[in-house]
Structure 1
Amino acid sequence: MEKQGVEVVVAHHERATLRVGDVFLKIDTDQARTEVEIDAMERAPIPTPEILWHRPPVLALAALPGAALGRLGEPSTASPAAWAAAGAAVRVLHDAPLPPRSGRGIDELATELDTECAWLATNGVLPTDVITRNRRIAEAALRPWTPVFTHGDLQVAHVFVDGDEVTGVLDWSEAAQGDALYDLATLTLGHPEHLGEVVAGYDTEVDLDMIRAWWSLRSLRGVRWLVEHGFDPNSPGCEADILRNQAMRA
């Protein structure tokens, strides 16, 4: 029998995900987060990984067929039709009945934006003009929205496709009632060249400026987390790189 190795998919002091053959093992000391993930996968009307077993703090999931739609900092090899299919899957999710959990509201997001911009400036992580321009862009996202069933962390690496078909979506621990455009912005973060395909698949009118506002808001909120968890936000396609590109575009 061929010996199977253990692949570390992601690991930091809050949680870790390991792959052993066709099984993913998610280790999370915050069981409330795991319960949110399990509940969301049971409610979601789109493909999700099969839950094999759950013995706290470990959740075992079956691997999804196919490959991730893309990775931050790398060109996506997925077809335009696959990106459109991802947009269509997000639309199905957003049309589903709301989950019980409420996401962050406008006031909480505004407070986080204040805090993170101050931290970025104080620690000299980014030039002041980059912070200021992105904050101006980000503030547009702080407006009333109609809540939908959002994934909450719909990174491109969390969407799996096989050919032109979506085979499943991973990592539902942030699922909640939220702004539909936040999911679309997260999916296309670092891959703006595929925004048109995603919107075409989503098949409803979308405010592209609001998606760009969420790119800035998510990135401003994310840099400190990356730094504190041992990741480099300046890597190509990552948050600091996105913020610089957004500032130049502005």
Structure 2
Amino acid sequence: MITFASPDEYRESLGDLDHWWPHARAVLRRHGLTPTGEPRAAQGGSYPTILVGDLVVKLYGHAGAWRRAHTAELHAYEVLAGDAELAAPRLLASGEWEGWPYLVITRVPGTTWADAAMTPAELTSAAADLGAHIARLHALDPGPHIERFAGRPPLDFEAAHTRSAMPKRLVEQAAAFVADVAPDDPVFGNGDLFEGNILVAGGRVTGLIDWGDALVIDRHNELAKIHLSTFRCDTTLLRAFLNGANWPVADDFARRAMAMSLVRQAVGVAQHGGGFDNFHLIPRMFPVDDIATLDELAEAVFGL
């Protein structure tokens, strides 16, 4: 069994290749997979992940809601198999090793959006291409195993948003604001497409990774990470994305996008704990002290 004496010991182990490579190598041997090249440990994730050649081994345990994350990611890859053109890893094997569930997936090429030095033209091209991939993603049949948002208990918006950068007066409006939007437009979505989970090359999207937060939820949920984090609220990129996705932009688009960003914050805190904050960039980019209502903030952030 793989065990740790404390959460701190586990966190310190995540980037330790010497610790995790023997386990990953044993998993690959079990499935007759022969890696090429030197292995390395992925940095910054919640679960130990080893990349070697064109293979990735990801193990789940110890941290947070690891059982839910493993189940979500496993079933997400089953759904993604329905579109061979979608830029996402493919599931090669799954199982359990020394008490830890694991997945073996293909490694997608490219550099993370965060690390890619893209020109303005490449950024716009990548945003449009991301939209095209999201359109394909949202068209997939999620099947019976992907968690449905509607099946969750009621969300505690105030508790979730007091842990965010949102001013208190806006936090107090969140529950009523979300309740007042139109009914959901549910699709299969990734839900965590921030700049570290989108890989690009030459102004094109080459990979969408990390499917542990996959849900069937309103399509606007995707914008919480894509626009607030990846695009850094750049409406030029948002327009390119929406055009690429052939997104159904209604008159209430800004309100729906803000509502689902509030929902994503509450879901994220439930999934990951108090360190999750969708809105960390908002006070740096908008005059929040002068914004009295969430309707005003929605128009400022998502207005087209």
TM-score range, shorter chain: 0.7 to 0.9
TM-score, reference length from structure 1: 0.73
2:132 corresponds to:
88
* Cα shift at 1:67: 1.6
1:103 has 2:148 as partner? yes
CA contact (8 A) 2:112 2:195 kept: yes
SS of the residue corresponding to residue 145 of structure 1 reads coil
Opposite residue 211 of structure 2, the aligned amino acid is W
What is the CA deviation profile of residues 2-59 of structure 1, one whole-angstrom value per residue up to 9, with x for unaligned ones?
98363333344xx333334543321114253343233123234512213343332222
2:239 corresponds to:
196
CA contact (8 A) 2:191 2:213 kept: yes
SS of the residue corresponding to residue 53 of structure 1 reads strand
1:24 has 2:68 as partner? no
2:113 corresponds to:
69
SS of the residue corresponding to residue 129 of structure 1 reads helix
1:42 has 2:81 as partner? yes
Q: Which whole-Å CA distance do the structure 2 matches of 1:133 and 1:83 have between them?
A: 31
Match of 1:185 among 220, 224, 228: 224
Of all paired residues, the percent bearing the same amino acid is 20
Q: Which whole-Å CA distance do the structure 1 matches of 2:118 and 2:255 have between them?
A: 23
What is the CA deviation profile of residues 220-245 of structure 1, one whole-angstrom value per residue up to 9, with x for unaligned ones?
443576555xx5x5xxxx53424546
SS of the residue corresponding to residue 50 of structure 2 reads strand
TM-score, reference length from structure 2: 0.62
CA pair 174-136 structure 1, distance change in 2 beyond 3 A: same
Match of 1:53 among 93, 99, 111: 93
CA pair 225-130 structure 1, distance change in 2 beyond 3 A: farther
CA contact (8 A) 2:55 2:107 kept: yes
* Cα shift at 1:195: 1.3
1:165 has 2:204 as partner? yes
What is the CA deviation profile of residues 182-238 of structure 1, one whole-angstrom value per residue up to 9, with x for unaligned ones?
12333222222021121121123322331122223323443576555xx5x5xxxx5
1:8 corresponds to:
42
CA contact (8 A) 1:148 1:178 kept: yes
Q: Which whole-Å CA distance do the structure 1 matches of 2:164 and 2:222 have between them?
A: 29
1:118 corresponds to:
159
CA pair 50-108 structure 1, distance change in 2 beyond 3 A: closer
SS of the residue corresponding to residue 18 of structure 1 reads strand
Higher relative contact order (CA 8 A, sep 6+): 1
Opposite residue 88 of structure 2, the aligned amino acid is T
* Cα shift at 1:69: 2.9
Q: Which whole-Å CA distance do the structure 1 matches of 2:205 and 2:273 have between them?
A: 32
Any gaps of 5 or more consecutive residues in structure 1? none
* Cα shift at 1:156: 3.5
SS of the residue corresponding to residue 88 of structure 1 reads helix
Q: Which whole-Å CA distance do the structure 2 matches of 1:48 and 1:11 have between them?
A: 18
SS of the residue corresponding to residue 148 of structure 1 reads strand
SS of the residue corresponding to residue 10 of structure 1 reads coil
Q: Which whole-Å CA distance do the structure 2 matches of 1:165 and 1:219 have between them?
A: 28
Which one has a bigger Cα radius of gyration? 2
RMSD of equivalent CA atoms: 3.5
Q: Which whole-Å CA distance do the structure 2 matches of 1:103 and 1:144 have between them?
A: 15
1:212 corresponds to:
258
